[in-house]
Amino acid sequence: MNPATMSAAAAAGVSVMSVAPSAYLVVGTILFAIGLAGALLKRNALSIFLSIELMMNAVNLLFLTYARMRGDAAGQMVVFFVIAIAAAEAAIGLAIFVALFRARQTVDVDKINFLKW
């Protein structure tokens, strides 16, 4: 958003934050819930992992919103950390799933229960 359009918007009496922050919180929470549901319902390890990534990004959204609401940049800083960690996690997770597939020819978690009880 360049300054020109911003001031134009301001002149028109429309707030930049036309959407209330609480709406972002709701979206974030819903996204988290979707991720949670995916983690619970999916059988493919990769899908579960992607669902968990969704949960983390939902948290990112929450952090950004809180940062905005509180005017504290620490929340935005957190997001970078989380993104970096999620990337590292993806790298390691995929490597593990590849190795798992090589060993067991499947990444269906319902079939991976050699270790139990």
Partner 1 sequence: MTYPLWLIPALPLAGFLVNGLVALIAGWQRAAGRTAAWREAHPDAGHGDHGHAPHGGGHGHDDPAGHGHDSHGAHGHGPSVPALPYWQRLFHGVVGVGATGLSCVLALGVVVPFVRESLASENGLPAVVETAYRWMSAGPYVLDIAFRLDALSALMLSFVTFVGTLIHLYSVGYMQDEEGFGRFFAYLNLFMFSMLTLVMANSLPVLFIGWEGVGLCSYLLIGYYYDKDFAAAAGKKAFVTNRVGDFGMVLGIFGIFALFGTADFSFVDMARHGAMNGHAPLSVYAVCLLLFLGACGKSAQVPLYVWLPDAMAGPTPVSALIHAATMVTAGVYLVARCSAVFVLAPDALTVVAWVGAATAIFAASIGLAQNDIKKVLAYSTVSQLGYMFLACGVGAFGAGMFHVFTHAFFKACLFLGSGSVIMAMHHEQDMRAMGGLRPKIPQTYWTMMIATVAIAGIPPLAGFFSKDQILGAAFGAGHPGLFAVGLVTAGMTAFYMFRLARMTFFGTFRGSKEAEGHIHESPATMTVPLWVLAAGALGLGFLGVPEVLGGSNTFMRFLAPSLAASHPHEVSIATEYLLMGMSVAVAAAGILVAWRWYGAAGATPQVPSVQADAFYRGTGPLGPIVANKWNVDEGIEALVLEPFRKIGTALWRGFDALVIDGVINASAFLVELTGDLARFFTTGNVRNYILTLTLGVLTFTLYVWIR
Partner 2 sequence: MPFAPSDMALIVPELFLTAAGLVLLVAATAVSRAQEKQIALWSIASLVVTGFLLAVPASAGAGARSAFGGMFAADGYSLFFKVLILAAGVVTILFSLRFVGDSPYPGGEYYGLLLFATVGMMFMVSGTHLISIYVALELMALSQYVLAGYFKRETKSIEAAAKYFVLGAFSSGVLLYGISLVFGATGSLSLAAVSRSIVLGPKSPLLVLGIILVACGLFFKIASAPFHVWAPDVYEGAPTPISAFFAVGPKLAAYAIFARIFFSGFGHNSSEWTVIIAASSALTMVVGNVGALMQQNVKRMLGYSSIGHAGYALLGLLAYGSKDFGLSSILIYLTAYALMNLGAFGLVVLLETKGYAGESVDDFNGLAKKNPLAAGVMVLFLLSLAGIPPTAGFVGKYLLFSAAMQAGWFWLTLLAVLMSAVSLFYYFRIVRAMYLVEGTGELRWREEPAVTVAILACAALTLFLGVYPQPLIALAKACLLS
Query: Is 48 among the residues that bind partner 1 (CB under 8 A)?
Result: yes
CB 25 within 8 A of CB 62: yes
Residue from the set 9, 27, 34, 56 that interacts with partner 2 by CB under 8 A: 56
Q: Is the dihedral of CA 30, 33, 39, 44 positive or negative?
A: negative
Chain positions 15 to 44 lying near partner 1, rule: CB under 8 A, are 36, 39-40, 43
100 near partner 1 (CB under 8 A):
no
User: Total number of residues binding partner 1 (CB under 8 A)?
Assistant: 14
Distance CA 91, CA 108 (A): 19
By CB under 8 A, tell whether 34 contacts partner 2: no
Q: Give the residue with the Cβ less far from partner 1, 68 or 97.
A: 97
Examine residue 48 and tell whether it contacts partner 2 (CB under 8 A).
yes
* Alpha-carbon distances, residue 82 vs 6, 85, 92 (angstroms): 30, 5, 15
